[in-house]
Amino acid sequence: MKPIVIFTCIIFLLITACEKDTPPFANEDITISSSMPGFAVYKTKGDYFNYITVKMDIKDTLTMIPAYNANDPRVTVTEDNVVYNLRWYLRSGYTVCREMDINRIFTNITFKELIDHVDSIGGIVPPDEWFKYRIIDKHPFTEFYDLKKNTGRDFTLGEINQMAENGTLETYFTKLK
């Protein structure tokens, strides 16, 4: 009888541990407007969901660094966390983002860390070197789909997730990687 109890406990612990690592999937009713550039669906090599991105040219010069602060409408700041409001996990393993292009690279700087730092120094964006030192992946994408121009319609996250699961993302998105 004891081996059954031990086996049951082990299975319960494994299931519980896996559930903690499950990302918070997006509300599939959220509608994304296709009228603005930067609408992308992608997968990355690692879990970079909470990290900020920068752009770098071929000479390793940063050409775009984020300028978020606690009052930025793109983020929600709580006492314990900062949530970037324009990036969502999908059940299919993809991420949808309203401000992403294939030339972005990920740092290990969280949105919370950046906002805390910027706000602590009076709203001044840190120098390029602060970001360069924190780059973790210059080629993060394993798949990348950019919204085709002039689609003329908006999408719910549920519709995008369904396209990803059905393999039909290329109906409305251009596969860049």
pLDDT digits over 77-110, tens only?
888 888 888 899 998 899 998 889 899 999 999 9
Q: In a 10 Å sphere around its CB, with 0-12 CB exposed, 13-18 middle and 19+ buried, how is residue 110 labelled?
A: middle
Range of the domain at 38: 24-175
- Within a domain: residue 112? yes
- Within a domain: residue 84? yes
Tokens 């770098």 found at: 56
Overall residue count recorded for the chain in this entry: 177
- Within a domain: residue 69? yes
- Within a domain: residue 7? no
- Within a domain: residue 53? yes
- Within a domain: residue 19? no
pTM more than 0.85: no
Quote the number of domains for the chain.
1
Q: For residue 132, give the H/E element and its range.
A: helix 128-132
pLDDT digits over 107-138, tens only?
999 999 998 888 888 878 888 999 999 999 99
- Within a domain: residue 39? yes
Buried b (16+ CB within 10 A) or exposed e, 153-166: eebebbebbbbbee
- Within a domain: residue 12? no
